[in-house]
Amino acid sequence: MFTEDELIPISVLQHYSFCPRQVALIHLEQLWEENMYTAQGNALHERVDVVHHELRKNVRTEYGMAIRSLTYGLIGKADVIEFELRTDNSYKSIIPIEFKRGKQKIKDHDRVQLYAQALCLEETFQVSIPEGQFYYLQEHRRSTVEFTNELKINTKHIISNSMELLLSEKTPQAHYDKKRCDRCSLKDICMPKAVNEGGKKVGRYIQTQLRRMLKDSEE
Ligand code: SF4
């Protein structure tokens, strides 16, 4: 079990899934830059982050609810949680719902965040949560995500790897990936191309020096 002081934000998992170096730049080096994608995401969350709840028939909907898991060491805030209640007020189902800009992604970054929320809710309410939902702004509709074994295993790996990275206090080297880096708000600070090029240049310089030393010692 983790203590309150040891909990890490659920958002770290989404960042780690996208790029481990991004986690280190944000959480270890305290660097952050807005870009078009993060600004749109923030504007969207400002609309759903106001804490309140609604009750309609047998469904209670909580907005901006604080969640945590002492078992997995996570803390965060859920955009929306829908509690379907039975007549005796026990929970028939609990569904975490995340609001996202854009449309459904092929990669797991958003799904990891959603399942991590489910882990927190399962621990707090002692229920099993088999699925969650996204509301993608561009699609104007909810889509259901099943929490598959693969997603569960991947998320748990990401939780332990993220914690390890934060504890190590070491920023991983950049690996330039056009698709990913061109969307990253930290691209200008991270300079993935320059770092990679710099790494290659340093590597070439060391090899040249070693060859020269070897040649000198043979003469
Ligand atoms: S620019 Fe690329 S390597 Fe750097 S943090 Fe962003 S995604 Fe990671």
How far does the centroid of ligand 1 lie from the alpha carbon of residue 178, in Å? 9
Check whether residue 167 and residue 179 sit in a common domain. Answer: no
The CA-atom distances, in angstroms, between 203 and each of 21, 168, 200, 209 are 21, 25, 5, 10
How far does the centroid of ligand 1 lie from the alpha carbon of residue 139, in Å? 27
Check whether residue 167 and residue 190 sit in a common domain. Answer: no
How far does the centroid of ligand 1 lie from the alpha carbon of residue 25, in Å? 9
pTM across the whole model: 0.82
Check whether residue 180 and residue 200 sit in a common domain. Answer: yes
Tally of domains within the chain: 2
22 lines ligand 1 (CB under 6 A): yes
Check whether residue 185 and residue 152 sit in a common domain. Answer: no
- Residue 196 makes CB contacts below 8 A (sequence gap 6+) with 174, 175, 176
Q: Give the bridge partners for 5, in sequence order.
A: none
Check whether residue 64 and residue 102 sit in a common domain. Answer: yes
180 lines ligand 1 (CB under 6 A): yes
Average pLDDT, the chain: 86
Give the pLDDT of residue 42.
Answer: 63
How far does the centroid of ligand 1 lie from the alpha carbon of residue 98, in Å? 24
3-state secondary structure of 189: helix
Check whether residue 166 and residue 184 sit in a common domain. Answer: no
Check whether residue 203 and residue 159 sit in a common domain. Answer: no
Check whether residue 59 and residue 144 sit in a common domain. Answer: yes
- Residue 169 makes CB contacts below 8 A (sequence gap 6+) with 28
Check whether residue 59 and residue 165 sit in a common domain. Answer: yes
> Which percentage of the chain shows pLDDT scores above 70?
80
Shortest-distance atom of ligand 1 to CA 18: 7
3-state secondary structure of 109: helix
Give the pLDDT of residue 202.
Answer: 45
Give the pLDDT of residue 218.
Answer: 62
Check whether residue 130 and residue 60 sit in a common domain. Answer: yes
CATH number at residue 105: 3.90.320.10
187 lines ligand 1 (CB under 6 A): yes
How far does the centroid of ligand 1 lie from the alpha carbon of residue 99, in Å? 24
Report which residue type is found at 70: L
Instruction: Report helix, strand and coil shares of the chain as percent, to nearest 5.
Output: 50, 25, 30
For residue 5, give the DSSP letter.
G
Check whether residue 16 and residue 87 sit in a common domain. Answer: yes
Average pLDDT for 41-66: 80
Least confident of 114-123, 139-148, 203-212: 203-212
Mind listing the pLDDT tens digit for each residue in 59-91? 999 999 999 999 999 999 999 999 999 999 899
Domain limits for position 140: 4-171
Check whether residue 203 and residue 178 sit in a common domain. Answer: yes
